[in-house]
Structure 1
């Protein structure tokens, strides 16, 4: 028998896997991917693991523990850059087969195997843990276990979808895979995914002990898991699952969850090798869809935006001026994320309303009631604005009036400490109009959030010619600390998101004024893939806000504002008043039924979507953002633009710029100059190869 790991693996060059033989006879195999800060599975990692498992199978240890050699976490999943390359070469099938065969070799080892999980455990990381007999997880808050592949347009393909339903039961397994939701160690233990939760310092020792002694899962858990995978259960549950998915993800746009349900329904009772084969075939087919390619592309765009926020912001204390819906929610969210925040307005009653909304946010977000007072204490009412003097960042969120904003800056800026940043949450006013009389323009910028603040992931960092590069860097780092995606944009009217969105919403209002029912307009947009129709969106944003933005943007874009937006009645501003274009009850729009026999115009979808695409082209041409990728990311995360289409520029590439331009010109001839092609349709970026 080998006396050490060195003897056992002699002659085998190991770069990514570091074996360590324990005195108790347990072998710990540490995954420590070479030349990488994070563990992710590449093909060479899998090939090396296969070789290691071959050696182990020849001379079995008393137990095998799979652990991470990196403090950053367990395993992030597969190397998606490599996956993209395999998709281009048409070799995804081989890559998935290799992962399945390697993990199956681990599952078939004739010794106890344990996965020792700490930190993130995603995708392939969770799948290798499922190939082990047992799983131990660290109790640290950072430990999160998930299978997020559905968010990439595929589903777990290295045995995850074949093994998880058998382990924890179909309802819990399918919920985890269909949502992509990650579980804490405690939650994973609750469904039977994890056998033991321990302190991080005891992780390896506990895993080794579990390998030697084993454990038996509760009988009730085993019976329920087995029963939920029977033919009768699959026949009953699968349609229910598909119906639930359909509420959020149309099959035509997002085929992955439906393919997962169908694969399980058809094969869930078959032997493991048959389940693996069905899984592989389904995932290979999904990987070749435009949805998967676009969603994987979006994943890389999010990584790029996160990278913009590297480094420290130097911001610990935030002062917000303006306790309206936006300002109050910005303040509350910053406090929730750990910043010390003071909130100012001209009257205490406005601050009190914002503080009440903040408490509702804390009750929703902070699950442990004992921790809520600590979070709430970070947000302080500040009628007199005393927090200005100690703030590292001041955010102005008052009315969209340039004169009012400039007056505020004149009062606030002299009280700022050295190095403090002054920012505005304006939604459309060019920064050149606001920086007049600013004494320190290098430290002045726009920081444009979107409503609702706690849900919308994007923040536009708006720059101007006099802004320092370090100001943008610090604000990006601040956004990252909030868990938001920062997108740097030029300070022109409307910036990126509102400038692209406004022509779309304006055309919807115009169509409504012509007599086309609001529900028909909304249906045309959601059929394209928008998460919400533009009429409902107008009510959600607020007709008063839309009118304010329209006043600023319409002249710049050469558009006319319909009377419905030009004059907004008091008490009928939309969702916040319970009445706008629609009536609202319990936060939901009450939409009237379409008239009998009503048929929407054939060109309604084009009338809505093409103005958005047209302005996206103009923004790219004008340099509002640095490139097409950031434009797509900004519009997706700022407007909800159909993610499966990859963003407006990607959609133009996929559909054909010339074809869309011709359709735009047809609308121009029929409806007028508001559909005239904007500058930039000759940009080579619109005809670049589709990813």
Structure 2
């Protein structure tokens, strides 16, 4: 790159559009070629470097008075660094060398003699937020789609383009560290209050005019505390770091997810100096980038993209109205979630009081999902009690969530078949019955698919789309499109007992319960599973799911035992969390546990590995039986459906890694 670049030299840009208008304002529009969203890869960054050369040259000549950076994409600004390129970095030194030119580029932007304004609409996260923090002024739309954030911890790293230092300088130590440690998306209004954004405009169309004014008025951002703030000074910084460390430890284990702890270490040691934070960021970042944890979490990201790809992009069918039959906990929660995702839902049940109860239960979800009372009221208006099923003929999707009895489901779909629109999706939320059996009495059994939600429906990210023996591909595609439209991951599975998730989960839970029957400590078992990386131990999970439900699934899969401890608990009415007693005594929604946890770490590690073996073995059988399309989708389904330790990359990936390591050891001996 040289500073002699001319306007003509920039006509060959592929990922950016560049122009200088009659007022001397340079406009750099990021519109990455052949991509639906902008990510900062090698070529976009190199081209941005050329743009900065050109602007600096124009600034010296007096022909350019400022630069505006915008996105050419309709729905997003910059979604971060290009994760696909991370795999090329094998060593810490390679990582450090790759970071140097990017950080030099951002330093050049920050040091520009003319104002540099970022005009943001849509998602601006990770490396995108780091880029705009190097700009002099940031304007964003108030649109709900506009969010900023640092999701890097979800990939086992933290910001690496000097975002740690710039965010603290701009938003203050507390706001910046919370944003980086949580990895959550921040709405534009909150981002402005915290200091990440300087100005808000009402719409995308207003951005260009606002950015023009900001350049002409030479506006500069005002930092909110930064390194001059009290919390960046010692001893307050040490106290704050200690609090952050203890709060983070409540959520994740350091040996599983080291990134947030290394970020806190970095802040504690160097958070009193902007220059020190910038200098020390890369050496702290590099080991994380090449770690197994980060590699596996990046794998999980790509697995989530593979799940999204199960829904065809090119389709004219768009679900807007949903009719749910069955207002029990699951049916009502499905209805509430669909409403929270913008759909209109009619909820049917034989009992009017059950419908009313189900609708009332969604108030918590609506309060969590929507900020204003007007939005909450609008959501409530979209959830319509419909005891007579009047919404059926208008619905794009009809979901049955009634009792698990084959004859009742068969009769329902046989009756529905003549009442629905020709292109409406008919789906059962069955968790145990075969779709082809339910569809057997229909005139057109190819119309029926399964849409299997997990409890709690609002929180679990995965939904199984069940393909019956006669289900047509077009209906399966509609099922996946619907699931994606309600912000869930669709997984297309064969209609077999347990589908995928319950099939692999049941042997794991049953084996753990058998250990308790044999006299092993249930708390030690649960702790060992968590030490392996499971979000909850199998015994606590069984209580949470319901021991009656576990028994039912066990019988369907041929794993049940009427004389087991779990069966005895069910017979005595002790069903787990929902009755206040199962394997554990439950109080205020939490299991009572002893404080005596003086178990040997090596013993816990060995036990944890033993506990997950039935799950891994069943995942292998599910792969071999082609329950889903490929091994990666087995891993994806188990991770997002059971919470299997994401940092291990999935059960099949974990097994393959174990086998490779064992082979390497054998070869070395």
Q: Look up the SS of the partner of 1:231 in the other structure.
A: coil
Return 574-583 or 293-302, whichever deviates more.
574-583
CA distance in 1, matches of 2:563, 2:66: 73
Contact 1:510 1:562 in 2 (8 A): no
CA distance in 2, matches of 1:189, 1:215: 16
* Partner of residue 288 from structure 1, selected from 264, 287, 290: 290
Relative distance call for 1:205 and 1:386 in structure 2 (3 A) is closer
1:633 is the counterpart of 2:636: yes
Deviations along 1:587-646, one digit per CA (max 9) or x if unpaired, are: 222224559999978853244210001100110011011111111110001000000001
What aligned pairs does 1:540-551 form with structure 2 within 5 A after superposition? 540-551=544-555
Return 233-242 or 623-632, whichever deviates more.
233-242
CA distance in 2, matches of 1:155, 1:601: 30
Return 312-321 or 327-336, whichever deviates more.
312-321
CA distance in 2, matches of 1:69, 1:281: 34
What is the aligned partner in structure 1 of residue 213 from structure 2?
A: 209
1:65 is the counterpart of 2:64: no
Relative distance call for 1:11 and 1:348 in structure 2 (3 A) is closer
Gaps of at least 5 residues in structure 2 are 664-669
What is the aligned partner in structure 1 of residue 419 from structure 2?
A: 415
Contact 2:115 2:219 in 1 (8 A): no
- TM-score, structure 1 as length reference: 0.89
Gaps of at least 5 residues in structure 1 are 661-691
1:255 is the counterpart of 2:254: no
What is the aligned partner in structure 2 of residue 587 from structure 1?
A: 589
Cα offset for 1:439?
1.9
Return 72-81 or 520-529, whichever deviates more.
72-81
Relative distance call for 1:496 and 1:322 in structure 2 (3 A) is same
CA distance in 2, matches of 1:458, 1:11: 45
- TM-score, structure 2 as length reference: 0.92
Q: Look up the SS of the partner of 1:237 in the other structure.
A: helix
Cα offset for 1:263?
1.4
1:179 is the counterpart of 2:182: yes
Cα offset for 1:217?
6.0
Q: Look up the SS of the partner of 1:386 in the other structure.
A: coil
What is the aligned partner in structure 2 of residue 498 from structure 1?
A: 502
CA distance in 1, matches of 2:143, 2:267: 33
Cα offset for 1:548?
1.3
What aligned pairs does 1:597-608 form with structure 2 within 5 A after superposition? 604-608=607-611
CA distance in 1, matches of 2:563, 2:172: 55
* Partner of residue 374 from structure 1, selected from 375, 378, 384: 378
Contact 1:506 1:561 in 2 (8 A): no
CA distance in 1, matches of 2:544, 2:439: 30
* Partner of residue 306 from structure 2, selected from 293, 300, 304: 304
What is the aligned partner in structure 2 of residue 650 from structure 1?
A: 653
Q: Look up the SS of the partner of 2:441 in the other structure.
A: coil
What is the aligned partner in structure 1 of residue 666 from structure 2?
A: none
Contact 1:315 1:392 in 2 (8 A): yes
What aligned pairs does 1:565-584 form with structure 2 within 5 A after superposition? 565-567=566-568, 568-569=570-571, 572-584=574-586
Return 152-161 or 604-613, whichever deviates more.
604-613
CA distance in 1, matches of 2:72, 2:318: 32
Contact 2:68 2:117 in 1 (8 A): yes
Contact 1:313 1:475 in 2 (8 A): no
Contact 1:428 1:498 in 2 (8 A): no
What is the aligned partner in structure 2 of residue 514 from structure 1?
A: 518
Relative distance call for 1:332 and 1:35 in structure 2 (3 A) is closer
* Partner of residue 129 from structure 1, selected from 110, 132, 142: 132
Deviations along 1:450-471, one digit per CA (max 9) or x if unpaired, are: 0100000000011122111111
What is the aligned partner in structure 2 of residue 676 from structure 1?
A: none
Cα offset for 1:366?
1.8
CA distance in 1, matches of 2:184, 2:338: 24
CA distance in 2, matches of 1:271, 1:320: 55
Cα offset for 1:658?
9.6
Relative distance call for 1:156 and 1:597 in structure 2 (3 A) is closer
Relative distance call for 1:149 and 1:507 in structure 2 (3 A) is same
Deviations along 1:385-415, one digit per CA (max 9) or x if unpaired, are: 3333333222121222323322333333343
What aligned pairs does 1:124-163 form with structure 2 within 5 A after superposition? 124-163=127-166
What is the aligned partner in structure 2 of residue 429 from structure 1?
A: 433
1:56 is the counterpart of 2:58: no
